[in-house]
Amino acid sequence: MNKLYTQINSGKFKGKKLLIPSKTTTRSTKSLVKSSFFDTFRFEFANKIFIEMFSGSGVMAAEALSNGAKKCYGFEKDKAAFEILKSNFKSISSDLIAINSDCFNGLQTLLKENNDEFIIYFDPPFDIRDGFNDIYEKVCEAIKNLSNHNAFLVAVEHNSDVKFDEIIGKFKLFKSRKFGKTSMTYFKKEI
């Protein structure tokens, strides 16, 4: 079986290749979606923690670190995908930390231990894993639970058929962009 790779497109680790886990358990972020996200927020990463939920290969966290994030975390529950994530992160920097955990439970623990400002990127495998029928309800609940933490930005990569409420907890939707069957929706905390 041929191995599939993605790569970091910008910043100090530009060109670094990352192995992609099995397509039966993860869905890699499209290059166009990734480019749009980093073109929009590239200068917002300095001194912030970046947290990639449903990390897969970890390319979004690695790209964030490459573009100036202070430290990056990647959550991946699937054991085989986690081993690839851990290997990808180890090949780049000790400031990339792979966590083998349910991201919803693990996120709350991580945030309690950290006072830095952070950016969270949700990328649930919306079309490929069984048992993910209610994934967007869980994502919305997780966003609500961020209300008492130091969130700078919450980004959700999702199926374009899904629409989010304008307000989730203390977060307001400020931008949404469609890329065919995939969309990106962004939330910022209202002050």
Tens of pLDDT, residue by residue, the chain (191 residues): 578 899 999 999 999 999 998 765 555 667 889 899 999 998 999 999 999 999 999 999 999 999 999 999 999 999 999 999 999 999 999 999 999 999 998 998 898 888 899 999 999 876 544 555 688 999 999 999 998 889 999 999 998 999 999 999 999 999 999 999 999 999 999 86
Domains of the chain, by residue range, sit at 5-189
- In this prediction, residue 38 carries a pLDDT of 93
- In this prediction, residue 8 carries a pLDDT of 95
- In this prediction, residue 27 carries a pLDDT of 56
Determine the straight-line distance between the first and last CA of the chain, rounded to whole angstroms.
51
Assign domain 5-189 to its CATH superfamily. Answer: Vaccinia Virus protein VP39 (3.40.50.150)
- In this prediction, residue 129 carries a pLDDT of 46
The number of residues making up the chain comes to 191
- In this prediction, residue 140 carries a pLDDT of 96
Sign of the dihedral defined by the CA atoms of residues 155, 63, 36, 48, in that order: positive
- In this prediction, residue 28 carries a pLDDT of 63
DSSP string, 106-159: HHHHHHHT--S-EEEEE---TTTSTT-TTHHHHHHHHHHTTTTS-EEEEEEEEE
- In this prediction, residue 99 carries a pLDDT of 97
